[in-house]
Amino acid sequence: MYDFAYQKPGSLADAVKVLSGDMEAKALAGGQTLIPVLKQRLNKPATVVDLSALGLTGITVSGGVITIGAMTRHADIASNADIKAKIPGLAHQASLIGDEAVRHRGTMGGSLANNDPAACYPSALLALGGTIKTDRRTIAADDFFQGMFTTALEQGEIITSIDLPIPEKSAYEKFRNPASRYAIVGVFVAKFANGVRLAITGASQDGVFRHTEMEKALSANFSPDAIAGIVTPADGLNGDIHASSEYRAHLIGVISKRAVAKAA
Amino acid sequence: MVFQGIGASVRRKEDVRFLSGKGNYTDDINRPGQLYAYIQRSDRPHATIDSIDIAAASAAPGVVKVFVGADIVEAGLGGIPCGWQIHNQDGSPMAEPMHPVIAVGKVRHVGDPVAVVIAETRQDAKNAAELLEITYTDLPAVANLTDAVKPGAGEVHDGVAGNICYDWAIGDKSVIDGVFASAHKVVKLDLINNRLIPNAMEPRVALGDFDTSSGDWTLYTTSQNPHVIRLLMGAFVLHIPENKLRVVAPDVGGGFGSKIYHYAEEAIVTWAAGKLRRPVKWTADRSESFMSDAHGRDHVSTAEMAIDKEGHFLGLRITTLANMGAYLSTFAPAVPTYLYATLLAGVYKTPVIYCNVKAVFTNTVPVDAYRGAGRPEATYLLERLVDVIAMETGIDKVELRRKNFIGVDAFPYQTPVALQYDSGDYQTTLKVALKNADWDGFEARRAEAKKRGKLRGIGISTYVEACGIAPSAVVGSLGARAGLYEVAEIRVHPTGSVTVFTGTHSHGQGHETTFAQLVVDQLGVPFDQIEIVHGDTAKIPFGMGTYGSRSLPVGGSAMVKAMDKVIAKGKKIAAHLMEAAVEDIEFKDNTFTVAGTDKSKTLTDISLAAYVPHNYPIEELEPGLDETAFYDPKNFTFPGGCHIAELEVDPETGVVEMINFTAVDDVGRVINPMIVEGQVQGGVAQGIGQALMEACIYDSSGQLLSGSYMDYTMPRANDIPNLSVATENTMCTHNPLGSKGCGEVGAIGSPPAVINAVVDALKDYGVRHLDMPATGAKLWSIIQAAPSSGNAPAMAAE
């Protein structure tokens, strides 16, 4: 990696100040994407700002919402009793990210801010209709993701926590890239009293998206059969040496049915 | 006392240091004043180097020197030599183009070294390399075999027409054509053996050192055979005599063949250390390994079997294109010829075999031996072809194999492709494997899986391989430029403890344990009083290293011979001490006894007398008890056996799940059953990796697409089912241990068993064959295209 300055601010305000004042600064959450990128010299930040001293960890339940601190690690989400009981799809999803080492370093806020098109968490946030809280505002999930590696976050804006409404039912089903084990297709489905939301990661060139046709069918009848006939076009889906866009389109149907079967 | 001799599953003594972080790997070694080399590699598959401006890089902080191709030309360095010469059908030698350690004038693959930056720190070197200004002019590149042999394809080397390194054949073309002309039926199969990237856990490292007082060079390197490196690099590249060059291969974290070869980086750091009068270290990072370590396999073949009405094999005719990559790696030419075509009889009494191999240069990383080396390619081709014959004749696939097996009473068996198998019992390994795999209960398991919506398949492979490499005169006549004997020195110390110096090299095989067990067995010395030394040309006699499952059958045999000498000398000393005739002295359990008396002396008594020769037959016998033996094997060894794979395909996604894997191998005498089981497990895991996951993919322009673990699928532990591993052994008849070797059987026998099982699982879809790896995406496409899916015209997926 290239040389960089390292800072570990003790307050959110200080962190925001450093990141806002320096276009060449990068925030370091769990580092499971940033560190490999730095090691390969694919990024050259002047300053790396470590967010681990800001106290942004923890999981709380209040009034039908689970709030997860942005720096909470995947392993803690996967093993949290409240999440396992109330949003089992999320606990399961966290348990599938990376490997043990990644899950003990990587954070939910870091993953969401990066918005890798093959990352898992964006599908949970979008399907649950969650809300991102930052140092300065709240952002609805539907407004947050803006294409691959792109979010609504401004320069220097730091995610502090994520609010996730507790659904009646939830499930995540992941079809892994056999090499990287990122999602080739990941489907998060959440059933609420007022309807179903279903989000797909890994498949689209634009990153995570909601499958509204499936949502509509599932809101009327929450069963795999309800979406069995829905064909997803391959246009706009990713294709690579592991999976063509046609295969991904097909897998969206298969994996969605399995996610619904698991939730129902 | 706990039994620790031959046949005991002694725990690996080396694991204590490996598992507790106490291993001493090449990158753990640092020398005072050490510099670091960073190698700037070509990002072009094929291009002329028009200019290299090193001014800015040379002036960068910490930089000591930048070397480019012109520097090695000026210094008169030789090219990297090839260790095996194959001859064309017309008798002329293969094309053997220059392989400079730093590219001169042209780059020929992505990863070809273009410049070397040497600096005070690795970071300095890497930073400076970014300041190199290199201008290229791209040339037409060829990456895959079929493109490279097309008329008008870009030429990797000037003067090598059609990119053909050699056009070689074994067998008589007119005889085989006659067999085919009159055969009842011919079954033909086109198949590809996928290209693999070896991926030893430890990346390659080389550290060159130069002693300004003595003028001696030392190279520390991640090698499977330090003497071979000293010979190739010293004699051919750097022109340093053996007495001035020491090569040390300390703990090495896996090789699988990829660390046999002499690589450019070894010569670069050694030469640079001498030029700069300071040690120079190079450590590969993982991405660099992908484009600088020799790759494996990469064949395109057409196989045809002529059969009679009953399904007896009458003749086998094969043409193969084998990818050599951009340059000839050390043993590359031997892999698709003498390690491949000579294995095409397999376990069958096919009377006539003909094989034509064209080795082809491409703009890719050099290809060389990788665990199994040629034998997996032969076994895969043959065992896939046999299954297709069964499919097309309706003969049961087990019965078809049985009826063509070489019988247990046919040994020694002379194949039509040069080899003479000494022993084996293919009926027994088959029978036991069928039982261990519950072959007969499979249809019930298939029916049960079907209820769950899964397509269950079972596949079998019966195989033999040739290892214990190799009789020197034989391989010499076939083009080897080296002898392939092995050496051992047994040093009995004054108080009876033993140090063994072996020319083999352990990089995961557990020699420190297995070899000690040989000493326990033969000399009766306690296990904890035996030390195994390897990997340092300054300590051990000239040995050939570890590959080709040779360490026990060849290196172990050398140990046995050396211990025979120790015992013979010990008997003379004992006879003197006990005032008896030498012929009356017996040796057993660490003790020399005068036959028929209670007079005895322990080995310690004898060794003490040998080193303190006060009462000693000094007129007839030299003092000391330290014996060396060189052992040249009389033949290859021929492990074989039967592998059975059972798996399920998810028809909705195409994904394969391995359910069971059964291996029953004949590896000859087993020294440590636990280590044998581990070797087979590791080999099978690699075989499953090749069959289901691993694919080195270049695009047509020569860019490496599977250039990291993000895109190259290594098998993980949870991809591998519990493996049922057993042995049913017949003894090797020509070495003193009876051992055949076990390092490669897993990787050789398993891939066709897995693919046969995949094809079996898809039998309702009209699938005749599919190429490895059988990924979910590939199987889904096949299922989609199959007639029974209702999606496609009726055609067999190829």
Of A40, A175, A242, the CB nearest to B653: A175
At residue B664, φ and ψ (nearest 5 deg) are: -125, 110
| B67 residue type, one letter | F
At CA B110, angle to CA B108 and CA B111, rounded to 5? Answer: 100
Find chain B residues with C-beta within 8 A of A250's C-beta. Answer: 780
Helix extents (H) in A115-154: 121-128, 141-144
The answer on B506 and B416 residing in a single domain is no
Find chain B residues with C-beta within 8 A of A175's C-beta. Answer: 653
The region that residue B790 occupies, defined by phi over 0 for left and psi between -120 and 50 for alpha, beta otherwise, is left
The answer on B736 and B689 residing in a single domain is yes
- Interacting residues of A175 by C-beta distance below 8 A, sequence separation 6+: A183, A184, A185, A186, A202, A251, A254, A255, B653
In a domain, B7, yes or no: no
The Cα-based distances of B661 to B449, B692, B717, B721 in angstroms read 17, 14, 14, 7
At residue B588, φ and ψ (nearest 5 deg) are: -160, 145
| Longest Cα–Cα distance in chain A | 56
In this complex, do B705 and A241 lie within 8 Å of one another by their Cβ atoms?
A: yes
Is B202 within 8 Å of B254 (Cβ atoms)? yes
The answer on B275 and B133 residing in a single domain is yes
Q: Could you give the ipTM of this predicted complex?
A: 0.95
Of B695, B710, B775, the CB nearest to A180: B710
pLDDT lower than 50: segments of chain B:
790-798
Find chain A residues with C-beta within 8 A of B706's C-beta. Answer: 179, 241
At CA A40, angle to CA A34 and CA A41, rounded to 5? Answer: 85
Q: Count of A–B CB contacts within 8 Å?
A: 37
CA pair distance B39, B127, nearest whole angstrom: 12
CA pair distance B506, B536, nearest whole angstrom: 12
The answer on B664 and B591 residing in a single domain is no
Please give the CATH topology (third level) of the domain spanning A59-263. 3.30.465
In a domain, B178, yes or no: no
The region that residue B544 occupies, defined by phi over 0 for left and psi between -120 and 50 for alpha, beta otherwise, is alpha
The pLDDT value given to residue B559: 98
The answer on B308 and B278 residing in a single domain is no
Which overall architecture, per CATH, does domain A5-50 show? 2-Layer Sandwich (3.30)
Mean pLDDT, range A87-95, rounded to an integer:
98
Q: Considering B582, B610, B631, which residue would you say is the last residue of a domain?
A: B631
A194 touches chain B (CB under 8 A): no
Closest CA to B252 of B271, B273, B224: B224
A3 touches chain B (CB under 8 A): yes
CATH code of the domain covering residue B639: 3.30.365.10
The answer on B217 and B88 residing in a single domain is yes
The residue of chain A with its CA nearest to that of B705 is A241
Strand order in the sheet with B600-602: B585-588, B591-594, B600-602
Closest CA to B139 of B129, B153, B124, B125: B153
The answer on B521 and B462 residing in a single domain is no
At residue B575, φ and ψ (nearest 5 deg) are: -60, -40
Torsion of CA A204, A209, A212, A215, to 10 degrees: 110
Count of structural domains within chain B: 3
CA pair distance B402, B407, nearest whole angstrom: 9
Q: Which two tokens stand for residue B105?
A: 């004038």
Q: Which two tokens stand for residue B350?
A: 């096919």
B194 touches chain A (CB under 8 A): no
Find chain B residues with C-beta within 8 A of A178's C-beta. Answer: 693, 713, 775-776
The distance from CA B90 to its chain's CA centroid, rounded to whole angstroms, is 30
Rounded to 10°, the helix B397-404/B426-436 angle is 160
Find chain B residues with C-beta within 8 A of A202's C-beta. Answer: none
CA pair distance B585, B599, nearest whole angstrom: 10
In this complex, do B697 and A175 lie within 8 Å of one another by their Cβ atoms?
A: no
Mean pLDDT, range A219-237, rounded to an integer:
97
In a domain, B745, yes or no: yes
The residue of chain A with its CA nearest to that of B712 is A179
In this complex, do B653 and A251 lie within 8 Å of one another by their Cβ atoms?
A: yes
The answer on B211 and B126 residing in a single domain is yes
A244 touches chain B (CB under 8 A): yes
Torsion of CA B681, B684, B690, B694, to 10 degrees: -20
Write the DSSP assignment of B460-524 as a string of letters. Answer: EEEEE--BS---HHHHHHTTBSS---EEEEEEE-TTS-EEEEESS--SSS-HHHHHHHHHHHHH-
- Interacting residues of B702 by C-beta distance below 8 A, sequence separation 6+: B45, B46, B109, B110, B141, B142, B143, B362, B363, B364
CA pair distance B514, B512, nearest whole angstrom: 6
3-state secondary structure of A111: helix
The answer on B698 and B590 residing in a single domain is no
Is B460 within 8 Å of B756 (Cβ atoms)? yes
Token look-up 């190199």 returns: B132
B453 touches chain A (CB under 8 A): no
The pLDDT value given to residue B786: 84
3-state secondary structure of B422: coil
Strand order in the sheet with A25-28: A5-7, A47-50, A25-28
In a domain, B458, yes or no: yes
CA pair distance B343, B324, nearest whole angstrom: 20
Find chain B residues with C-beta within 8 A of A203's C-beta. Answer: none
Find chain A residues with C-beta within 8 A of B777's C-beta. Answer: 242-244, 247
Q: What element of type H or E holds A247?
A: helix A245-263
Query: What value does the mean pLDDT of chain A take?
Result: 97
CA pair distance B785, B94, nearest whole angstrom: 43
A252 touches chain B (CB under 8 A): no
CA pair distance B18, B25, nearest whole angstrom: 10
Is B766 within 8 Å of B477 (Cβ atoms)? no
Q: Which two tokens stand for residue B467?
A: 């290892």
The residue of chain B with its CA nearest to that of A182 is B710
A188 touches chain B (CB under 8 A): no
In this complex, do A254 and B652 lie within 8 Å of one another by their Cβ atoms?
A: yes
Q: Where in chain A is the domain with CATH 3.30.43.10?
A: 5-50
B777 touches chain A (CB under 8 A): yes
3-state secondary structure of A88: helix
The answer on B781 and B667 residing in a single domain is yes
CA pair distance B710, A141, nearest whole angstrom: 28
A11 touches chain B (CB under 8 A): no
Question: For an interface test with B, which of A39, A116, A251 has the most B Cβ atoms less than 10 Å from its Cβ?
Answer: A251
In this complex, do A179 and B713 lie within 8 Å of one another by their Cβ atoms?
A: yes
In this complex, do A179 and B652 lie within 8 Å of one another by their Cβ atoms?
A: no
Write the DSSP assignment of B308-343 as a string of letters. Answer: -TT--EEEEEEEEEEEEESS--TTGGGTTTTTTGGG
Find chain A residues with C-beta within 8 A of B287's C-beta. Answer: 40
CA pair distance A135, A156, nearest whole angstrom: 9
Q: Considering B597, B613, B631, which residue would you say is the last residue of a domain?
A: B631
In this complex, do B775 and A250 lie within 8 Å of one another by their Cβ atoms?
A: no
In a domain, B158, yes or no: no
3-state secondary structure of B82: coil
In a domain, B162, yes or no: no
In this complex, do B287 and A3 lie within 8 Å of one another by their Cβ atoms?
A: no
Residue B320 belongs to domain spanning: 299-469+635-789
The answer on B640 and B613 residing in a single domain is no
Smallest Cα distance from B785 to chain A, Å: 13
Q: Considering B605, B631, B657, which residue would you say is the last residue of a domain?
A: B631
Rounded to 10°, the helix A88-95/A121-128 angle is 170
- End-to-end CA gap in chain A: 47
Rounded to 10°, the helix A245-263/B776-785 angle is 100
Q: pLDDT for B235-248, tens place per residue?
A: 999 999 999 999 99
Is B548 within 8 Å of B467 (Cβ atoms)? yes
Q: Where in chain A is the domain with CATH 3.30.465.10?
A: 59-263
| β-strand pairing of B600-602 with A183-192 | unpaired
The residue of chain A with its CA nearest to that of B656 is A178
Smallest Cα distance from A143 to chain B, Å: 30
In a domain, B11, yes or no: no
Of B123, B653, B781, the CB nearest to A254: B653
The residue of chain A with its CA nearest to that of B784 is A247
Give the bridge partners for B304, in sequence order: B188, B317
At CA B386, angle to CA B385 and CA B390, rounded to 5? Answer: 115
The pLDDT value given to residue B787: 74
A241 touches chain B (CB under 8 A): yes
The answer on B427 and B349 residing in a single domain is yes
CATH code of the domain covering residue B219: 3.90.1170.50
In a domain, B304, yes or no: yes
CA pair distance B594, B402, nearest whole angstrom: 53
Closest CA to B521 of B495, B556, B572, B565: B556
The Cα-based distances of A51 to A18, A114, A156, A157, B125 in angstroms read 11, 15, 12, 12, 31
Residue B12 exposure: Cα atoms within 13 Å on the Cβ side: 19
The pLDDT value given to residue B155: 96
CA pair distance A214, B366, nearest whole angstrom: 50
